[in-house]
Amino acid sequence: MDEERALYIVRAGEAGAIERVLRDYSDKHRATFKFESTDEDKRKKLCEGIFKVLVKDVPTTCQVSCLEVLRILSRDKKILVPVTTKENMQILLRLAKLTESDESLEKVSEFPVIVESLKCLCNIVFNSQMAQQLSLELNLAAKLCNLLRKCKDRKFINDIKCFDLRLLFVLSLLHTDIRSQLRYELQGLPLLTQILESAFSIKWTDEYESAIDHNGPPLSPQETDCAIEALKALFNVTVDSWKVHKESDSHQFRVMAAVLRHCLLIVGPTEDKTEELHSNAVNLLSNVPVSCLDVLICPLTHEETTQEATTLDELPSDQTAEKETVLKNSTMVYNGMNMEAIHVLLNFMEKRIDKGSSYREGLTPVLSLLTECSRAHRNIRKYLKDQVLPPLRDVTNRPEVGSTVRNKLVRLMTHVDLGVKQIAAEFLFVLCKERVDSLLKYTGYGNAAGLLAARGLLAGGRGDNWYSEDEDTDTEEYKNAKPKEELLKPMGLKPDGTITPLEEALNQYSVIEETSSDTD
């Protein structure tokens, strides 16, 4: 009945009546996502009637009401086949200012029309294969980038940027060809990085360092949403960027990594929005070539180094809270390097572990990122080793028992999800410089057996990667409780990793027993 009444007014009424009836329809069905199949034909005709109104010279408020209803109806995939035509797509592109002209965005009254047109296009392109093909034919990606360039530095039109970026994300998600076009032809990587810089209001202090105001206000909801959409679009653009082939590529990825470092050190309007923002930043960092991730850490300035050394001594003994703050900040410094971003990633990882669900989607990206950073960058590995695997003093409890980060990661080494337990074990193995004896010290033989068997290291040894030699970190507690080396090797295993015959293993065991009894 609603569709029938609205269709009658749209066909025969004047602009004011059309606006009123469509506003009522929009208010009633704003939260409708499932539609009755019996009214499918009426909804198709209503869509067609709305497009006929949109080509007329009607007031802006009437256009907005038409587009709001069209957005609601476009949630139904069944009605989009006859509605999605090249002519109708061009109507929406014109209303969204998606043209290749240099026309600027000056009329504030038109902004609601632009936003609603972009919302309609997001739904239609996502739900209709015909619309996806027409997007390629109409070169929609280039038009979206052109619109972004018009508004990238203008904060008061965040809604336009947000839905432009969302549509760009949808297009690059559905078409791999558009990813390549965005990356090379349309220079999408620097453009989207500049959008992030604008959303975060970044002020550069060095080539790859930005000023961080820890006492500054959080991002606004609009800025946060805009940044999240830009991060998602950038992820699609860079999804195949495993290697850097040109110096210009290396520079651009380092700039993007520096922006992402800034992203990790700021907060959104709510805790959930902050987590979503950081989650998308982690996903994008996974696409950055590992050689460019060194910008996640930066040397302390002379002033910071001096303050680090003197602040604690200067504070009066009764200022406990201030001292705790200084001590907390000092845990983010290692070997003269600022480790704030790595500390945030480590906390993010622990929060995802504590959630106890969706490990593959939520935990493996950050674990994989920390693993690759540790493997490629010595300072990052040493800092993470210091935080995750501090000198072992508790030698009475099993490695998986407890609430430390090490205990949580060791428990993941026997998780039912193969991918989760592999990346957790790999992370700890890299922190141990791929040395079997060091890994066993922190995890125990049973927890590490899966990784060692997969790598052919059950008999001991180390992995293929080279790491610098560090000093002995064994504590007195561990040295006293450390078992004999022979007990770490499974019975019946030769030095080359092959299994010995059972009779030979039993004879070897008998010799050990006799030797032990003689020395008692």
Residue 449 CA to residue 447 CA, distance in Å, equals 6
Calculate helix-pair angle for 405-412, 340-355, nearest 10 degrees: 50
Q: What is the pLDDT of residue 321?
A: 47
Give me the residue spans of the domains in the chain. Answer: 1-138, 158-241+248-285, 329-467+474-507
pLDDT reading at 410 higher than 90: yes
Contact 376, 288 (CB under 8 A): no
Contacts of residue 253, defined as CB under 8 A and 6 or more positions apart, other chains included, come to 241, 244, 288, 289, 292
Q: What are phi and psi of 298, to 5 degrees?
A: -150, 150
Q: What is the mean pLDDT of residues 490-499?
A: 55
At 35, the pLDDT band (50, 70, 90 cuts) reads confident
Which alpha helices (DSSP H) does 55-153 contain, by range? 60-73, 80-83, 86-95, 111-127, 129-137, 140-151
Selected residue with higher pLDDT from 34 and 323: 34
For residue 508, with 0-12 CB atoms within 10 Å meaning exposed, 13-18 middle and 19 or more buried, which class applies? Answer: middle
Separation CA 70–CA 116 (nearest Å): 9
Q: Structure pTM?
A: 0.84
Residue 174, amino acid: L
Paired tokens of 256: 């993007």
CATH value of 1-138 in 1.10.4160, 1.20.120, 1.25.10, 3.40.50: 1.25.10
pLDDT band at 7 (very low <50, low <70, confident <90, very high): confident
Question: What is the per-residue pLDDT for 38?
Answer: 83
Mean pLDDT, rounded, for 148-166: 82
Q: Are 116 and 158 in contact (CB under 8 A)?
A: no
- Please name the helix (run of DSSP H) or strand (run of DSSP E) that holds residue 191, with its range, or none: helix 188-200
**CB of 231 within 8 A of CB of 284?**
yes
DSSP-based three-state secondary structure for 85: coil
Q: Tell me: pLDDT of 119 over 60.
A: yes
242 neighbors 187 (Cβ within 8 angstroms) = no
Q: Output the six-digit token pair for 476.
A: 């007195």
What is the rounded CA–CA span in Å between residue 513 and residue 391?
33
Of the ranges 157-166, 271-280, 462-471, the best mean pLDDT one: 271-280
SS3 (DSSP) at 194? helix
**Cα separations (Å) of 486 from 31, 343, 492?**
67, 38, 12
- What residues are paired with 209 via a beta bridge? 206
Once rounded to an integer, what is the mean pLDDT over residues 17-42?
89
Tokens of 47: 């869509």
Do 141 and 182 meet the contact criterion of CB atoms below 8 Å apart? yes
Residue that the structure tokens 């790598």 belong to: 455
As a whole number, the mean pLDDT across the chain is 84
Pairwise CA distance, residues 487 & 11, whole Å: 87
Over the stretch 320-377, which tens digit does the pLDDT of each residue have? 444 444 444 456 888 889 999 999 999 999 999 999 888 999 999 999 999 999 999 9
Residue 55's SS3 state is coil
Q: Which two tokens stand for residue 499?
A: 């299994």
| Closest alpha carbon to 399 in 412, 387, 386 | 412
pLDDT tens profile 297-308: 988 865 666 555
Q: Which residues of 95-120 are buried (b: 16+ CB within 10 A; e: fewer)?
A: bbbbeeeeeeeeeeeebbbbbbbbbb
How many angstroms separate the CA atoms of 498 and 515, rounded?
25
Question: What is the C-alpha end-to-end distance of the chain, expressed in Å?
Answer: 96
Lowest mean pLDDT among 138-152, 259-273, 282-296: 138-152
Look at strands 333-334 and 337-338 and give their pairing.
antiparallel
**pLDDT of 518 over the 50 cut:** no
> What integer pLDDT is reported at residue 507 of this predicted model?
61
Q: Is pLDDT above 90 for 488?
A: no
